[in-house]
Structure 1
Amino acid sequence: MVSKKVTIVNAQGFHMRPANVFAAAMMKHPCDVTLRVNGKDVNAKSLMNIIAACIKCGNEVEVICNGADEDAALAEAVEMIESGFGE
């Protein structure tokens, strides 16, 4: 298991477009990917769960990856969040 805490930087937070891009990217990895935000664990491969978590700009999110390819999944997830999803 690997994890890293990152802060959401895009002004609109995890709205529909970045949540969809993020979930689709995480689906490519065979490991479990979880977002821990506001004391809740969210399945990062589920668009609806990400949207339901209401992740806003400035929220600190811990990305947790567990299983095969976990290092690559974590690196991709962190890069996407820190880049603000290109927004």
Structure 2
Amino acid sequence: MPEQRSIVAAALGLHARAAAIFVRAVTDTGLPVTIRKPNGSAVDARSLLEVMSEDFGHGCEVLLEVAPDALPGPTSVSNAADSLRSLSAVLERPELN
């Protein structure tokens, strides 16, 4: 399963503007990405409401994942991994707010 660990760097965490920017980036990938805390439940990262309802605060470690059965072929796994790295870079930008 393609996955990527990241740290939320935005001063206010994933609230309002930062969450909207992140969700837009996820939606642009076209992939069914989930986000969760390491021991938490996954939520749909394409849903602004679900992302904002979780407590993804500043400094919070998160895990981004794409289920392998959601991908059409082996090349897609590599593409999904690249997309997750890009999404991680979005989360790790402190100026996201």
Fold shared by both chains (TM-score > 0.5): yes
1:12 and 2:12 aligned: yes
| Aligned partners of 2:9 and 2:58 also within 8 Å | yes
| Counterparts of 1:15 and 1:59, CA distance in 2 | 13
Paired residues in the alignment total: 87
TM-score, structure 1 as length reference:
0.85
Q: Pick the structure with greater CA Rg.
A: 2
Q: After TM superposition, what 4+ stretches of structure 1 lie above 2 angstroms from structure 2?
A: 65-69, 84-87
Structure 1 residue 85: deviation in Å? 4.7
Q: Percent identity?
A: 25
**Alpha-carbon distance in structure 2 between the residues aligned to 1:85 and 1:3:** 24
Moved more, 52-61 or 67-76: 67-76
| Structure with greater proportional helix content | 2
| Distance in structure 1 (CA, Å) of the matches to 2:83 and 2:60 | 20
Equivalent position to 1:80, from 82, 90, 97: 90
Matched, 1:40 2:41: yes
Residues 72 and 27 (structure 1), Cα distance of their counterparts in 2 relative to 1, 3 Å cut = same
Alignment RMSD: 1.7
TM-score (norm 2): 0.78
* Letter paired with 1:65: V
Q: Which has the higher strand share?
A: 1
1:59-78 matches, within 5 Å, as 59-66=60-67, 67=71, 68=76, 69-78=79-88
**Distance (whole Å) between structure 1 residues aligned to residue 2 and residue 11 of structure 2:** 27
Structure 1 unaligned blocks of 5 or more: none
